[in-house]
Structure 1
Amino acid sequence: MLLNELYQKLMPYQKAKRWIIGLSGGMDSTVLLHLLVKLKKQFPIPTLSAIHIHHGLQTIADHWPDHCQSICDQLNIPLTIVKVTITQQASIEQAARDARYTAFANQLQTGDILLTAQHKNDQAETLLFRLFRGAGVKGLMAMPNQRPLGQGTLIRPLLNTPYDTLKHYAESNQLCWIEDPSNQDTHYARNYLRHQIFPKIIDYWPQAIHNIVQTSEHMQEAQKLLNELAQQDLLEAQTNSLYHWLTIPSLLVAPLKNLSTARQKNALSFWLSNYTLQPSTQHWHGWFDLINAKETATPIWQLHNAEIHRGNHRIWLLKNDWLTKPSSVHLPIETAKEISLPNNGLAKLSGKLPQGSFYITYRQGGESIPLIRGTRDLKKLFNEETIPYFLRQRLPLLIDLQGNLVAVANYPQWFNKNYSKDFTFEWIAPHFSS
């Protein structure tokens, strides 16, 4: 029966490139491996292999790769062993989990399926654990049955299978597995929940695991509705890019301000989920400071690995190269060409440059440029165009040997009238990657 259930759950993934089992050597993953080998003998399934992540957090764990290798050799399943280093963090459990999934992601190729062995009891524990930490709807969904991971997909085919069912299968088939002694250490929050709290709950409410998992399913439905609402609320804010040469994600402020506080947070959470970790409950004050700031202000909301800037009636999401201030440059230019700008994309000069020496640099303050209608301060031109502050520091400027401003990249209307306009000056901004 367990084998048939597994086959039904994995049927949609039969055309995958590879099925890879995350094999810790514990009972759960050993049962999953054993079931998949049986499945392989009965049905045409993708290439089957296993991967063991060696954390090395305890001396006894040094023997686990050998144990996993022995099992895989007996079953004729290729095994990859990946050793990872755990960085010191407040939660060693979370650090180990992060390192494990990073290693998994690095091993997956396009079309690969990673299969892990979390079961129904794990799902109930996850929801309760997150409840104690004050999670919202998204957190109380617990673990999804599937999600993207690296270039592949993570599938949890045993998530609705009770622990006792797996234990019975393991014992009936006389399987050998590793018992991790750290799983008994109740100094770890998850273990305390498992060994001290859950047994008492189940004694009093025998159906607790089933009901808790059912709650996670209700939360998944609720989150789908919230996502649909967020998409509707973002329609007006997600207009076309203000600058055709800029790939930074942005949203109009006015449509967001018209939403209730709850809908603002929901819409923004949905939008941010593509780019960075969700803000904590305490962290949201930064959003309200930003959106309620004066129009002339330049507030910044610091996120996990990104920043939200406000400018030109929009919010802008900056990360990766956009968080690194471009290095000061004074690059000599003699002929039309493309010039690489450190931490700032490319500058491109096309056409016929005038005689003389020119340089590419950035704004220092106090620049002015003689236009057809008179000399103008660059700062005032920027203000009139309401160019966001983060862009002002990055727009390449072309100056001559005497330090006169000749042109501003991507703004052909700002061109020194003392020079013939026989060339173009473009900035190819750093590409935004999520």
Structure 2
Amino acid sequence: MTGRVPECLAEALRRLGPFEDCWVAFSGGADSTALLHAAARADQATGAVRAIHIDHGLHPDSPRWADRCRHICDALGVTLVVRRLNLKPVPGESLEATAREARYRALAAVLGPGDLMLTAHHQDDQAETLLLALLRGSGVHGLAAMPREAELGQGRLVRPLLDVSRATLEQYARHCGLSWIEDPSNASVRMDRNYLRNSVVPLLRSRWPGLSVTLSRSADHCAETAQLVDGLAAELMEGCTGAHPGTLGVRALGALGRSRRKAVLRLWLRRRGFALPDRRHLERILEEVIRARADADPLVAWTGCEVRRYRDDLFALDPLPPSPGALTIRRSPSGVPPVLELPAGLGWLQWAEAGDSSGEAYGSGVSATVRFGSIGQNCRPKPRSRRRTLKNLFQEAGIPRWLRPYVPLVFSGDTLIAVGGVCRCWGESEDLTPHEVPRWLGHPWEDLALFRNQTE
């Protein structure tokens, strides 16, 4: 067995085929040290092999561990990037889950197009993940545990060692004379995974020695089933598209059977990049949002996601930022470039150039004031048209009620001259020129095509 250990990792990497730029998620522990050593010597690595160490900042020794990782990488001739996380645990949220999400965001950030991110998750990790999923009552996607490959940022996350045991990786590290970091928190049973690893799995393995192999095989079966479910959901979702990009049509969705409706919702949320809701929140979407009246304003929210409805469309959104309220901001009439940044990540207003080099190209005749929440206004959207209240304008333009407080209203003095992303407002004398009215760009809802930027 010992003589085969070095080849075991080489074979696992060989299955990846030739790869160019590659990263190894390097904690400094035995598992990732063995993987980094094998990857640095892999024949099929035609480009750079680099390592990234995530310092979670949760242990007083973490800076020392980062330094140790630098020494290990120097000895292997591998470039190391260290990223320190600034974790802000959310009350009621698992610190372990918060750290995991932040870690993967940091890993994704370093990947270029086509890059691989290798992690040292192994067969025993997979078995523990399946057990945790069972104890949490997860469905087939959760029981599929960790996929061997997944998209990550601009590249791909690859777990090449899911068929390799923890014991084999430690044997490899010893065989090759490698040194590694022992994290003392791994011995604590406070975390669920550590409790399983240190207390439950050894007991199960004493009765069923092939536990990790068997559970990993079950995870593979669940992964195949999950693929079938997703394939069916993808076909069904094609007939449930809403009026706006990325939305679902409520009536088409409601016509599906309940289990198919759930499968479509889960796939839709994953494709939109959101964490899946638990069973309670998913049921609330079915009961409170899909069944709501067309003129209602239902909301189901969980960490990182808000599901809302407007008319027949179902929206999945990042949590809305705090409303600017009655905030008023000004743009100097001589401002160049002709851009005004809005607060709360709401993008910017851009004044169109009129084509000459004078100040008039930037609407220098207008001292623009932007206000939010001034609902008691009215606007003439076209020459010689009747005036509309803002509520009427928003309804005609299909702007959901929950987005209206964020729409920038552009004034010249006390005169409303434009409703951001909706229309310009014509005066009685129709003497406003097009370059005086800005376009609303960079707001968080551009991909939904809710705003037309019709400023003329």
Write out per-residue CA displacement over residues 352-387 of structure 1, whole angstroms, 9 at most, x where no aligned residue: 99x998865456334345684755544345445654
Distance 1:232 1:323, change over 3 A: farther
2:397/2:422 contact within 8 Å kept: no
Gaps of 5+ in 2: 1-6, 355-359, 448-456
Correspondent of 1:250 among 219, 242, 247: 247
Correspondent of 2:265 among 264, 268, 293: 268
Partner of 1:76: 77
Partner of 2:340: 340
The Cα of 1:196 is off from its aligned counterpart by: 1.6
Q: How many residues align?
A: 420
Tell me if 1:296 matches 2:309. no
Task: Give the 5 Å matches for 1:263-412.
Answer: 263-273=260-270, 274-287=272-285, 288-319=287-318, 323-326=321-324, 328-329=327-328, 331=330, 340=340, 342-343=342-343, 344=346, 345-346=348-349, 348=351, 361-362=371-372, 364-369=374-379, 372=384, 376-383=388-395, 387-397=399-409, 403=414, 408=419
CA distance in 1, matches of 2:367, 2:73: 68
Partner of 1:140: 143
Tell me if 1:121 matches 2:124. yes
1:253/1:314 contact within 8 Å kept: yes
Write out per-residue CA displacement over residues 364-421 of structure 1, whole angstroms, 9 at most, x where no aligned residue: 33434568475554434544565421344344556665x5656655656975565258
Partner of 2:3: none
The Cα of 1:432 is off from its aligned counterpart by: 3.9
2:417/2:424 contact within 8 Å kept: no
CA distance in 1, matches of 2:218, 2:446: 36
Q: TM-score, normalised by structure 1?
A: 0.81
- Which amino acid is 1:54 matched to? D
Q: Secondary structure at the match of 2:104?
A: helix
Partner of 2:158: 155
CA distance in 1, matches of 2:139, 2:264: 15
Distance 1:194 1:420, change over 3 A: same
CA distance in 1, matches of 2:193, 2:366: 70
CA distance in 2, matches of 1:413, 1:106: 40
Q: Secondary structure at the match of 1:307?
A: strand
CA distance in 1, matches of 2:375, 2:57: 54
Write out per-residue CA displacement over residues 39-61 of structure 1, whole angstroms, 9 at most, x where no aligned residue: 25xx5532223333334544555
The Cα of 1:128 is off from its aligned counterpart by: 0.5
Question: After the TM superposition, which parts of structure 1 deviate over 6 Å for at least 4 consecutive aligned residues?
Answer: 332-337, 349-353, 355-358
Distance 1:259 1:417, change over 3 A: farther
**Percent identity of equivalent pairs:** 31
The Cα of 1:130 is off from its aligned counterpart by: 1.7
Distance 1:329 1:347, change over 3 A: farther
The Cα of 1:255 is off from its aligned counterpart by: 1.0
2:372/2:406 contact within 8 Å kept: yes
The Cα of 1:334 is off from its aligned counterpart by: 7.3
Tell me if 1:419 matches 2:425. no
Correspondent of 2:16 among 7, 10, 17: 10
CA distance in 2, matches of 1:433, 1:380: 22
Partner of 2:197: 194
Aligned CA-pair RMSD: 3.6
Distance 1:299 1:55, change over 3 A: closer
The Cα of 1:129 is off from its aligned counterpart by: 1.2
The Cα of 1:289 is off from its aligned counterpart by: 0.9
Partner of 1:224: 227
Task: Give the 5 Å matches for 1:32-111.
Answer: 32-40=35-43, 45-59=46-60, 63-88=64-89, 91-111=94-114
Distance 1:202 1:332, change over 3 A: closer
Gaps of 5+ in 1: 242-247
CA distance in 2, matches of 1:255, 1:197: 46
1:306/1:323 contact within 8 Å kept: no
CA distance in 2, matches of 1:400, 1:172: 76
2:242/2:249 contact within 8 Å kept: yes
CA distance in 2, matches of 1:350, 1:70: 56
CA distance in 2, matches of 1:230, 1:63: 48
1:406/1:419 contact within 8 Å kept: no
- Which amino acid is 1:282 matched to? R
2:330/2:367 contact within 8 Å kept: no
Distance 1:407 1:155, change over 3 A: closer
CA distance in 1, matches of 2:46, 2:306: 45
The Cα of 1:144 is off from its aligned counterpart by: 1.4
Partner of 2:256: 259
Partner of 2:450: none
Partner of 2:453: none
CA distance in 2, matches of 1:230, 1:88: 34
